[in-house]
Amino acid sequence: MSTTNDIDEFVARAAESGKNATDRFRQRESAGSETDSVRVSRLASRAIQAINAVVIDERVTYDEYNALKTWLIRVGEDGEWPLFLDVFLEHSIEQVANEHRSGSKGTIEGPYYVPGAPEGPWNGEIPMRADESGRPLVFQGQVRGIDGTPLPGAKIEMWHADSDGFYSQFAPGIAEWNLRGTFLAGDDGRFEVHTIQPAPYQIPTDGACGQLIAAAGWHAWRPAHLHLKVSHEGYELLTTQLYFPGDPHNDDDIAGAVKPELLLDPRPRASEDGYVATYDFELDPV
């Protein structure tokens, strides 16, 4: 049952997630690389022209222009630039970056990756709370090259939301590495990870992104997903997400990051509660 307190708590914790993503991004990315001025000029000119074309086309008013200024200032104040960009732009960046691949499909990384999650086995179980709620999920498969060669020792980094839709290190009050782990494939390239089914994710509703979504009458949902980075020396790193069939938002993910190849096919487990989902990764050689 949802009470007002639950909703207040959700809003408070979700709001911090956007802001924390800005702090994390700053820690990870140094000042930003030098970009050649010809390229800067070309990209900046085209982006500015594209927005000017919308203004002329749509007869944008001073009231609307001032609303835009107010909103852009707020995106920065709320620390939601990484959230906004990863939700509305990263899918195109990823499309361009990965068009050449013939192996498994990638999709966006999103704002909540943290490098260096502790390495298991721990009997294949991702770090989780003793009373972690959610349906048990066994995620298994094999990592291969695109020619079918198994890749022993391939690294599988996995991170995902809990059954309330919160990510550790971004929403407060969750143990540091909860539902974040690094796993190594065996000699045959096979891996098995025990976790719980994540909940669908709602973009924080009380910050600047939420304000835009509400003002536009959009919904704020991403379908439930597992985030993965799969890597092996000599192969291109694969950053991807996997989704669950039947999720109402698989067809209208606000982040535009679902692809048909990324849907799992979970089966009920024979003797225990929960599901098994099998997914094989094929990595492109560098």
Inter-CA distances, 116 with 49, 71, 96, 180, 218, Å: 41, 35, 27, 9, 35
Nearest approach in angstroms of CB 86 to ligand MBD is: 5
- Measured CA to CA, the distance from residue 245 to residue 223 in angstroms comes to 10
Q: Which stretch binds Fe ion (CB under 5 A): 63-71, 95-103, 106-114, 213-221?
A: 106-114
Beta carbons within 10 angstroms of residue 87's beta carbon:
23
User: In the bound complex, which residue of the shown chain has the CB atom lying closest to ligand MBD?
Assistant: 110
111: partner contacted, choices Fe ion, ligand MBD, none (Cβ within 5-8 A by kind): ligand MBD
Nearest approach in angstroms of CB 239 to ligand MBD is: 11
22 is written with which tokens?
């800005």
255: partner contacted, choices Fe ion, ligand MBD, none (Cβ within 5-8 A by kind): ligand MBD
- 3-state DSSP call for residue 78? coil
Binding-residue total with Fe ion (CB under 5 A): 1
Q: Which stretch binds Fe ion (CB under 5 A): 13-21, 57-65, 108-116, 213-221?
A: 108-116
Sign for the pseudo-dihedral over CA of 105, 111, 114, 119: negative
What are the residues whose beta carbons fall under 8 Å from the beta carbon of 152, sequence distance 6 or more? 185, 186, 187, 188, 189
166: partner contacted, choices ligand MBD, Fe ion, none (Cβ within 5-8 A by kind): none
Q: Among residues 142 and 250, whose Cβ is nearest to Fe ion?
A: 250
Q: Among residues 142 and 241, whose Cβ is nearest to Fe ion?
A: 241
Q: Is 18 in the site for Fe ion (CB under 5 A)?
A: no
Nearest approach in angstroms of CB 204 to Fe ion is: 13
Spatial CA neighbour of 223 closest among 196, 192, 194, 245 = 245
- Measured CA to CA, the distance from residue 54 to residue 175 in angstroms comes to 45
Nearest approach in angstroms of CB 66 to Fe ion is: 33
Among the listed residues 79, 103, 110, 266, the single contact to Fe ion using CB under 5 A: 110
- 3-state DSSP call for residue 162? coil
Inter-helix orientation angle 62-77/81-88, to 10°: 110
Q: Among residues 110 and 256, whose Cβ is nearest to Fe ion?
A: 110
Binding site for ligand MBD (CB under 6 A): 83, 86-87, 108, 110-112, 201, 222, 255, 257
Contact residues: Fe ion, CB under 5 A: 110
